[in-house]
């Protein structure tokens, strides 16, 4: 079966409910029940609000899964712990063609060490109306093409980082740094690598004035764009940092286009950042950046019961 973007009917529905009124009480049990090498769209729906204290892994061999809560403020996946391995996060998406909707994903470990809430490895992954919370390294946006729409992302240090090609559209980015923490740390390692982060029509806030930078280069060819984005006075006037490696000033690509607010003032920006022209900004402004029209899909409208057993695979 070949799935296409327009498939909105005959989606397999699996329900999760802590009270026992769904197919599963635990999220991971629902994911485990999906057959390996799945070729159908699977909609994992949370029947009612709840706080799910567990780690969730969507493995690479289980594509085409959507996880959807009822409301992003009341459907919460939470865990508390430091980052030691690539999968040691609250939620890890290793599969392609995954969608997350109306969820809070958080790691409550706090400051002192990396504590990832969400890691995304798969290609063609989208999140809508989600809240993602931690302190250091909140979102490991590591590889593939990704789309974040109307999401709230909070952290203090490098809290959106990795080497994906990702579009953040109408997202709310909130820093809890008090001393110049970076929002982004992108790891593009070659000028030929088509990766980068673009923030379009977003809002950026912080807990105090002059406490946040827009990004710093984890890799030598780090690429970050902010366009049509509101920036409060939490943004430091220089805007960007070279992470104590001046050679990366000439290879990183940091641009801003038509941003506004007190934090968007360009007069004191580092000289190696760019105030983009319309032609320079154009490739980073729409879903074309991630070929989104080929794979982003709407909320399904009709569902069917699964043909596979509602129990985890052994």
Q: Please give the positions annotated as active site.
A: 137, 158
SS (H, E, C) 241-262: CCCCCHHHHCCCEEEEECCECH
Alpha-carbon span 29 to 17, nearest angstrom:
12
Tokens describing residue 15: 């329900």
- β-pairing, 75-79 vs 50-53, is parallel
Residues in the chain: 314
Please provide the DSSP assignment of 177-222 as one string.
-SS-EEEEEE----TT---EEEEES-EEEESSTT-EEEEEESSTT-
Alpha-carbon span 73 to 91, nearest angstrom:
17
- β-pairing, 125-128 vs 99-101, is parallel
- Decide if 302 contacts 11 (C-beta within 8 A): yes
């Amino acid at each position: 079966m070949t799935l296409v973007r327009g498939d909105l009917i005959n989606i397999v529905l699996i329900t999760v409910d802590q009270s026992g009124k769904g197919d599963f009480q635990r999220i991971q049990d629902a994911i485990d029940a999906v057959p390996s090498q799945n070729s159908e769209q699977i909609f994992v729906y949370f029947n009612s609000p709840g706080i799910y204290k567990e780690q969730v892994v969507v493995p690479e061999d289980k594509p085409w899964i959507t996880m959807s809560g009822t409301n992003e403020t009341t459907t919460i996946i939470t865990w508390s712990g430091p980052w030691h391995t690539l999968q040691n996060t609250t939620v890890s998406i290793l599969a392609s063609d995954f969608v997350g909707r109306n969820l809070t994903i958080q790691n409550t470990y706090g400051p002192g060490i990396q504590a990832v809430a969400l890691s995304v490895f798969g290609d063609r992954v989208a999140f809508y109306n989600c809240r993602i919370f931690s302190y250091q390294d909140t979102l490991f946006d590591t590889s593939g093409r990704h789309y974040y729409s109307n999401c709230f992302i909070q952290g203090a240090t490098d809290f959106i980082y990795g080497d994906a090609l990702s579009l953040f559209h109408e997202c709310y980015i909130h820093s809890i740094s008090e001393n110049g923490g970076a929002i982004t740390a992108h790891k593009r390692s070659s000028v030929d690598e088509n990766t980068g982060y673009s923030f379009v029509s977003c809002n950026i806030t912080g807990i105090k004035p002059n406490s946040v930078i827009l990004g710093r280069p984890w890799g030598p060819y780090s690429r970050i764009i902010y366009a049509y984005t509101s920036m409060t006075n939490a943004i430091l006037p220089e805007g960007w940092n070279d992470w104590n490696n001046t050679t990366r000033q000439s290879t990183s690509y940091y641009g801003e286009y038509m941003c506004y607010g007190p934090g968007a003032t360009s007069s004191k920006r580092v000289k190696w950042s760019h105030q983009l022209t319309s032609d320079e900004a154009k490739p980073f402004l729409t879903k074309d950046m991630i070929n989104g029209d080929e794979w982003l899909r709407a909320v399904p409208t009709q569902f069917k019961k699964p043909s596979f057993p509602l129990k985890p695979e052994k």
